[in-house]
Amino acid sequence: MTAKTEETTRQIVATVREFVQREVIPAAAKHDHEDSYPDELVDQMADMGLFGITIPEKYGGLGLDHATYAMVFEELAKGWLSITGPIGTHSILTYAIQKHGTEEQKQAWLPDLAIGRKRAGLALTEPGGGSDVAGIQTAACRTGDEYVVNGNKTFITNGKHANVFMLVAKSDPSAEPPHRGITAFIADKRSGFTAGRELDKLGYRGVDTTELVFDDYRISTDRIIGGKEGRGFYQVMEALETGRINIAARAVGVADAAFEAAIRYAQHRNTFGRPIASRQAIQGMLSDMATKIKAARLLTHDAAVRKDKGERIDVEASMAKLFASEMCAEVTLDAMRIHGGYGFVKDLPIERYFRDAPLMIIGEGTNEIQKLVIARNLLKRYAI
């Protein structure tokens, strides 16, 4: 990273941190309790250029690296996890277009995506399952110069508020192996494509998570990402590497917020005449929490830097996502234990951190799948 890049990173991270303190934290509890979409905050993020963090400057984006991308997500999540959702899912499509799209697709879509005029989502997970991407059932049947799409998606972040999606569908049901029959499209909302039921979630509230319905939705062949059928599986799996980086960064942010609240509380809460921070049991918890957070941050940074170097990071991104998300669940629970009864009531954000933490364990591929990804690729690396 050059001195100029480092200065740019410091400036944008500081700007995001100030935005979180000034705008996000004061509004988070209300949006979380009411499960209301934070339109005003999302619009401000668009004005800040956060919808185009990694989109090259020539297409209207900030052109920043994935290391900065991860820092931005950490800062946002530290204020309120849900505010990361609209740009997290958005970045999956922008990455896929940047990396695999034709030049015509880049020029047509990236400028509006970079400034948030168009807001994106990922139409991947289906009611029958999410981890088995090759087994998706949404069908894209070719008719002349277009495809007719039928099927349902679910657990779609920004499903209501996004207007363009990376749609992953089966274009060749007879392909062997099945993943070669998967094609990814740039699909905008119009006739035949609607957002269905909004899901009522434990945490990650405020940002919409919905079902999507495709009913004889027609999409032209020029919307195939990269212009060639059958490459969607590889395109979405690579794009999900960036998703796992931002999920890991989100987990670090939520955990760090919980830790900071816990260490402050431990120094103010007195029992039997002295602060609970002086108790060895509490000190052990705090030291473990801080150590785990730092380790997760370093894993996330390593994956991001390797991504910027153009390396395959299926192992590194999965390691970061796996460790950081499990760490976040542990740290938020420990923060609640340190707060005692006060951590269990909605007067403080501790219970929200605890409710939000499981999302990172499930999102962008469950941790059980991450372990398989890590093991399979390690066996390839160390084949004898």
Catalogue the active-site residues: 364
CA-CA distance, 326 to 26, in Å (whole number)? 28
Q: How many CB atoms lie within 10 A of CB 86?
A: 27
Q: How many CB atoms lie within 10 A of CB 336?
A: 21
Question: What string of H, E and C letters represents the secondary structure of 61-120?
Answer: CCCCCHHHHHHHHHHHHHHCHHHHHHHHHHHHHHHHHHHHCCHHHHHHHHHHHHCCCCCE
Phi and psi angles of residue 250, each rounded to the nearest 5 degrees, phi first: -60, -45
Quick one: which H or E segment has residue 213?
strand 209-220
Instruction: Say if CB 118 and CB 163 are below 8 A apart.
Output: yes
What region does 27 belong to: left with phi over 0, alpha with psi -120 to 50, or beta?
Answer: alpha
42-75 b/e with 16+ CB inside 10 Å = b?
Answer: bebbbebbbbbbbbeeebbbbbbbbbbbbbbbbb
CA-CA distance, 22 to 231, in Å (whole number)? 44
DSSP 171: S
Instruction: Name the token pair of 293.
Output: 């957070």
- Which single residue is written with the structure tokens 């390691």? 319
CA-CA distance, 166 to 41, in Å (whole number)? 24
